[in-house]
Structure 1
Amino acid sequence: ALTSDYAFKQVAHLANNIGPRLTGSAQAAKAVGYVAEEMKTVGCEVQLEEVMVPHWVRGIETAELTQYPGQASGTTQKIVLCALGASVATPPQGITADIICIRDFEELKSMPR
């Protein structure tokens, strides 16, 4: 096992040919099939079973600052953001809330809950 590149080639195939594998995605299903066939090839007895898994699809993400010190009247400032997987959707009308700047995990841990 220490001199074989078999495991590396399998991971490379999953990464380069199948791609990201979020639960419930087509790529996840393809990866399951690929790994099952590889296991059969090396002599394993394989049985696939259907299971329920959460499936999350990233939606469109937009945000803008609507009020900040020094803001020119009648303008907004678009900001870049990334939603966390399986997070709750924002309502269609959007939300307006204060932004809290947290500089590191220690500061986050010290915040009241």
Structure 2
Amino acid sequence: MAGRLRGSRGNMSSIDPGRFDCQSCGACCSYSAEWPRFSTETDEELDRIPPELVAADLSGMRCENDRCCALTGKVGEGTACGIYLLRPHVCHTCQPGDEECLMARAAWGLA
């Protein structure tokens, strides 16, 4: 993911993350099939993720095109993670209003 990032986090202090509602967005979960990857999860954590949501090569979440298969709803209107409490660690790192969030929102044409 780091290779896809642009810009500087130095500008982040001026962004109010409270103005971003993840449940009416979902862009980060539909931006790139490369994002929902497994990295630091324990075997026990991985075993809790439903097998039908795991990629065939076991590297991360299964995606259809760039959309994570655990995402429900319509991007930009109303979304939810079907395995929110079990989601991979990388899913915790994208925060409302951060650089990854803004990049995904821009790709979807969301302000």
Give TM-score scaled by structure 1 length: 0.20
Give TM-score scaled by structure 2 length: 0.20
Choose between structure 1 and 2: higher helix proportion.
2
Larger radius of gyration: 1
Choose between structure 1 and 2: higher strand proportion.
2
